[in-house]
């Protein structure tokens, strides 16, 4: 355990000390000494961000509900805390027992975004744990990682002992079970990893594989180094969400977090097949929870947390097949508790006026629409199944109901994009504004404000755009300039993402094993919290690129050959490479692919739970 007196001194000096104290409602205080496997869940970002992540709450309760295991939490300490910790020799500790992370059996990182990778290295260092997997023996915890970014694990392959690809509910317990068995009979890291790689589906241990490269830097081969382990890693997916573990409790942070509310997961997967969206491909097929089950869960969660808002969480919540019924029943059951329901994402095509009205019964939420591209042609390219009429309908309704603050989200740098497509972003924004001011006087309610945000497209693995070279930083700036000039209305706020951040993200997200070195060098140069615009330092990253000797163009901007072995090809994420390729070609011709609830597009998933249920 760390020195609590020193901790107390430090806490008096830092911003938001409650980030580091734990003790939240529904937190566990199991005895570490009495547990057979000690797991510490590590979120490589600051407490408020990590605590807003649903997966943390699921895994935390899942593990702690087992008598033999304990799960505690740790987060990346903010700059001020890190400085004090280093100065006072406080190692990275768990919030629950204030125990050094080093003393746990398993340290599990969740990989939500690539720009948190330098924080992983920094946390290992703060924990006095060697950063490279090869330097860690039995004295140190096994370091594992999972989450959406684990679908391309290679950039972290030098640091992480074991990756879990896909949904973690079932596999995590299998890993802990195996660990327990090995611990009881004299733990050997190598043996444990081998058994896990061999026997647990979805487990990937990078050290058991070798990768070779061609002269031109592309991959020449991949091979297994030990017998008996799978050549392709199949992602884990939970078959029946109603039977899956769902916590009846959620940790309730004392300090304000990004999402101060209940996150009620209503389904997994998404059927729209937007071609830029990684989640839409890797979490296929769609699997819903039943209304009955959700109502029971929601009641328990309200009781155990006291939150006053339930957010219906999923990739595209308006798609839930019985959304009307669900919202009605939720509100009827909980209205006397003054509990409101919110939908985090609204799709323009499925926006149901009745649904919005239902939500009105308790509380208003702000409205955000994501047309993603400015022209219909480009929306067809990315298979975003909405048109201008959808947007008009939705916005018109919103205005009538008294919403006056609207946010629109777009991307730039999409395949086949022209200046005309870009200017469509301006046109659409002005159209929304005109729609507000062209209303009869008595219907112009509130103070109109439109925010148009444009982000820089980052091509991701396991999407049809995985072969596509990202726009260069210069191209992005030219596009921003073009757009900026056309936005002259004070009622419309034009925002854009920093192209340099998206460039780094692009290098990492489609990186291979050699990117480990870049991440290490970046950390050495002082990079951390790169997802925060206040701390992202491009100069440091550029130094890291120079020091590591990698060619950034090769990773970010190059169009890949279709025959090329891609670093993540050895993972079976569901949809086949052939499907992705077919989708890419269709996109170039601006041809749409229907939603797979209407018709199965044969994406290649074996035993797809959707077939026959929806289509």
Partner 1 sequence: MKIRAKYTKLGYLKYLSHLDLIRLFNRSLTRTNLPVKFSEGYNPHPKLSLGNPLPLGIESMCEYFDIELTENISPNDFMITLNKVLPKDIKIIEAFEIDEFTPSISTSICISVYDLVVDTVNLDEEVDYNLEITKFLNLENIEIEKKKKKGRNKITAKVNIRPFLHKLSVEKIEKNIVKFNATVMTGEKGNIKPIELLKAIDFYTMIKLDLDSFEAIKIDSF
Phi, psi for 221 (deg, rounded to 5): -155, 165
Between residues 5 and 485, which has the closer beta carbon with respect to partner 1?
5
Are 104 and 74 in contact by the 8 Å Cβ rule? The answer is: no
CB atoms within 10 A of CB 19: 23
Between residues 404 and 615, which has the closer beta carbon with respect to ligand SF4?
615
Distance (Å, rounded) from C-alpha 232 to C-alpha 64?
32
Structure tokens at 582: 């077919």
Distance (Å, rounded) from C-alpha 114 to C-alpha 391?
32
307 binds partner 1 (CB under 8 A): yes
Choose from ligand SF4, partner 1, none: what does 485 bind? Cβ within 5-8 Å by kind: none
Q: Which of 19, 28, 284, 379 binds ligand SF4 (CB under 6 A)?
A: 284
Distance (Å, rounded) from C-alpha 578 to C-alpha 505?
26
Q: Which of 67, 137, 303, 324 binds partner 1 (CB under 8 A)?
A: 303
For residue 12, the minimal CB distance to partner 1 (Å) is 5
Between residues 221 and 254, which has the closer beta carbon with respect to partner 1?
254
Contacts of 267 (CB under 8 A, 6+ apart): 241, 286, 287, 288, 289, 314, 319, 320
CB atoms within 10 A of CB 278: 22
Q: Which of 100, 161, 105 is nearest to 135 (CA)?
A: 161
Distance (Å, rounded) from C-alpha 15 to C-alpha 294?
38
Are 248 and 304 in contact by the 8 Å Cβ rule? The answer is: yes
Q: Which of 337, 400, 491, 591 binds partner 1 (CB under 8 A)?
A: 337
Are 108 and 38 in contact by the 8 Å Cβ rule? The answer is: no
Q: Which of 32, 173, 219, 255 binds partner 1 (CB under 8 A)?
A: 255
360 binds partner 1 (CB under 8 A): no
Choose from ligand SF4, partner 1, none: what does 25 bind? Cβ within 5-8 Å by kind: partner 1
- Among 306-314, 319-327, 390-398, 508-516, the segment contacting partner 1 (CB under 8 A): 306-314
Distance (Å, rounded) from C-alpha 369 to C-alpha 446?
19
Phi, psi for 369 (deg, rounded to 5): -120, 145
Structure tokens at 319: 């798609």
272 binds ligand SF4 (CB under 6 A): no
600 binds ligand SF4 (CB under 6 A): yes
- Among 13-21, 44-52, 62-70, 457-465, the segment contacting partner 1 (CB under 8 A): 13-21
Between residues 111 and 264, which has the closer beta carbon with respect to partner 1?
264
Between residues 190 and 332, which has the closer beta carbon with respect to partner 1?
332
Between residues 29 and 495, which has the closer beta carbon with respect to partner 1?
29
CB atoms within 10 A of CB 561: 11
- Among 2-10, 115-123, 175-183, 445-453, the segment contacting partner 1 (CB under 8 A): 2-10
331 binds partner 1 (CB under 8 A): no
Long-range contacts of 577-585 (CB under 8 A, 24+ apart): 578/604, 579/603, 579/604, 580/281, 580/462, 580/463, 580/464, 580/466, 581/464, 583/273, 583/275, 583/383, 583/464, 584/275, 584/464, 584/465, 584/467, 584/468
Q: Which of 216, 231, 256, 606 binds partner 1 (CB under 8 A)?
A: 256
Distance (Å, rounded) from C-alpha 93 to C-alpha 73?
9
Are 249 and 263 in contact by the 8 Å Cβ rule? The answer is: no
Choose from ligand SF4, partner 1, none: what does 205 bind? Cβ within 5-8 Å by kind: none
- Among 20-28, 170-178, 411-419, 428-436, the segment contacting partner 1 (CB under 8 A): 20-28
For residue 325, the minimal CB distance to partner 1 (Å) is 25
610 binds ligand SF4 (CB under 6 A): yes
Choose from partner 1, ligand SF4, none: what does 306 bind? Cβ within 5-8 Å by kind: partner 1
188 binds partner 1 (CB under 8 A): no
235 binds ligand SF4 (CB under 6 A): no
Between residues 349 and 595, which has the closer beta carbon with respect to ligand SF4?
595
Choose from ligand SF4, partner 1, none: what does 601 bind? Cβ within 5-8 Å by kind: ligand SF4
How many residues belong to the site for partner 1 (CB under 8 A)?
29
Between residues 17 and 602, which has the closer beta carbon with respect to ligand SF4?
602
Are 267 and 314 in contact by the 8 Å Cβ rule? The answer is: yes
Q: Which of 603, 607, 612, 613 binds ligand SF4 (CB under 6 A)?
A: 603
Q: Which of 115, 159, 43, 42 is nearest to 517 (CA)?
A: 159
576 binds ligand SF4 (CB under 6 A): no
Distance (Å, rounded) from C-alpha 301 to C-alpha 307?
8
Are 87 and 104 in contact by the 8 Å Cβ rule? The answer is: no
Choose from partner 1, ligand SF4, none: what does 338 bind? Cβ within 5-8 Å by kind: partner 1
- Among 17-25, 106-114, 217-225, 238-246, the segment contacting partner 1 (CB under 8 A): 17-25
- Among 61-69, 133-141, 144-152, 603-611, the segment contacting ligand SF4 (CB under 6 A): 603-611
For residue 574, the minimal CB distance to ligand SF4 (Å) is 7
Residues 104-141, buried b or exposed e (16+ Cβ, 10 A)? bbbbbbbbbbbbbbbbbbbbbbbbebbbebeebeeebb
506 binds partner 1 (CB under 8 A): no
Q: Which of 349, 414, 418, 352 is nearest to 387 (CA)?
A: 349
Between residues 304 and 601, which has the closer beta carbon with respect to ligand SF4?
601
Q: Which of 1, 3, 23, 559 binds partner 1 (CB under 8 A)?
A: 23
Q: What is the H or E stretch that residue 41 is in? A: strand 37-43
Phi, psi for 373 (deg, rounded to 5): -135, 155
270 binds ligand SF4 (CB under 6 A): no
Between residues 376 and 576, which has the closer beta carbon with respect to ligand SF4?
576
11 binds partner 1 (CB under 8 A): yes
User: Which residues contribute to the site for ligand SF4 (CB under 6 A)?
Assistant: 284-285, 596, 600-603, 605, 608, 610-611, 615
Residues of this chain that interact with partner 1 (CB under 8 A) are: 5, 8-9, 11-13, 17-18, 21-23, 25, 252, 254-256, 260, 302-308, 337-339, 363-364
């Amino acid at each position: 355990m760390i020195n609590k007196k020193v901790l107390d001194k430090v806490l008096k000096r830092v911003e938001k000390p409650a980030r580091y104290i734990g003790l939240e409602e529904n937190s566990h205080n199991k005895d570490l000494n009495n547990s057979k496997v000690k797991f510490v869940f590590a979120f490589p970002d600051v407490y408020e961000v990590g605590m807003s992540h649903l997966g943390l709450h699921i895994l935390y309760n899942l593990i702690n509900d087992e008598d033999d295991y304990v799960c505690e939490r740790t987060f990346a300490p903010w700059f001020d805390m890190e400085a004090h910790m280093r100065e006072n020799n406080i190692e990275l500790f768990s919030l629950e027992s204030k125990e050094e992370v080093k003393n746990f059996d398993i340290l599990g990182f969740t990989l939500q975004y690539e720009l948190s990778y330098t924080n992983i290295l920094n946390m290992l260092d703060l924990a006095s744990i060697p950063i490279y997997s090869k330097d860690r023996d039995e004295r140190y915890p096994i370091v594992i990682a999972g989450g959406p970014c684990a679908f391309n694990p290679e950039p972290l392959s030098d640091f992480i002992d074991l990756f879990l690809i896909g949904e973690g509910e079932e596999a995590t317990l299998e890993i802990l079970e195996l660990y327990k068995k090995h611990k009881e009979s004299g733990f050997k890291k190598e043996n444990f990893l081998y058994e896990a790689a061999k026997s647990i589906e979805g487990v990937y241990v990078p050290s058991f594989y070798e990768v070779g490269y061609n002269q031109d830097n592309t991959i020449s081969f991949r091979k297994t180094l030990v017998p008996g382990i799978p050549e392709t890693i199949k992602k884990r997916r939970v078959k029946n969400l109603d039977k899956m573990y769902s916590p009846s409790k959620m940790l309730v942070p004392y300090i304000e977090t990004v999402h101060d509310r209940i996150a009620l997961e209503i389904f997994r997967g998404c059927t729209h097949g937007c071609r830029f969206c990684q989640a839409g491909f890797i979490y296929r097929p769609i699997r819903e929870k039943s209304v009955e089950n959700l109502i029971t869960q929601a009641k328990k969660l309200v009781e155990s947390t006291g939150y006053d808002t339930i957010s219906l969480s999923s990739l595209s919540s308006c798609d839930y097949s019985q959304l009307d019924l669900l919202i009605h029943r939720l509100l009827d059951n909980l209205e006397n508790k003054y509990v409101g329901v919110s939908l985090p994402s609204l799709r323009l095509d499925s926006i149901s006026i009745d649904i919005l009205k239902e939500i009105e019964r308790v509380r208003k939420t702000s409205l955000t629409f994501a047309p993603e591209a400015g022209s219909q042609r480009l929306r067809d390219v990315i298979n975003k199944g909405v048109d201008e009429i959808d947007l008009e309908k939705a916005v018109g309704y919103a205005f009538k109901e008294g919403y006056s603050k609207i946010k629109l989200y777009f991307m730039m740098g999409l395949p086949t994009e022209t200046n005309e497509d870009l200017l469509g972003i301006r046109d659409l924004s002005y159209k929304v504004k005109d729609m507000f001011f062209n209303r009869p006087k008595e219907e112009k309610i509130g103070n109109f404000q439109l925010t148009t945000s444009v982000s820089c497209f980052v091509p991701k693995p396991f999407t049809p755009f995985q072969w596509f070279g990202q726009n260069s930083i210069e191209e992005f700036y030219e596009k921003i300039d073009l757009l900026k000039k056309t936005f002259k209305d004070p009622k419309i706020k034009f925002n854009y993402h920093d192209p340099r951040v998206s460039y780094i993200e692009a290098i990492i997200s489609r990186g291979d094993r050699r990117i480990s070195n870049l991440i290490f060098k970046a950390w050495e140069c002082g990079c951390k919290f790169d997802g925060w615009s206040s701390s992202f330092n491009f100069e440091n990253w550029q130094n890291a690129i120079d020091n590591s000797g990698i060619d950034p163009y090769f990773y970010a901007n190059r169009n890949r050959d279709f025959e090329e072995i891609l670093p993540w090809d050895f993972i079976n994420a569901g949809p086949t490479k052939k499907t992705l390729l077919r989708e890419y070609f269709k996109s170039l011709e601006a041809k749409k692919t229907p939603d797979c609830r209407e018709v199965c597009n044969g994406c290649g998933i074996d035993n797809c739970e959707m077939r026959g249920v929806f289509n």
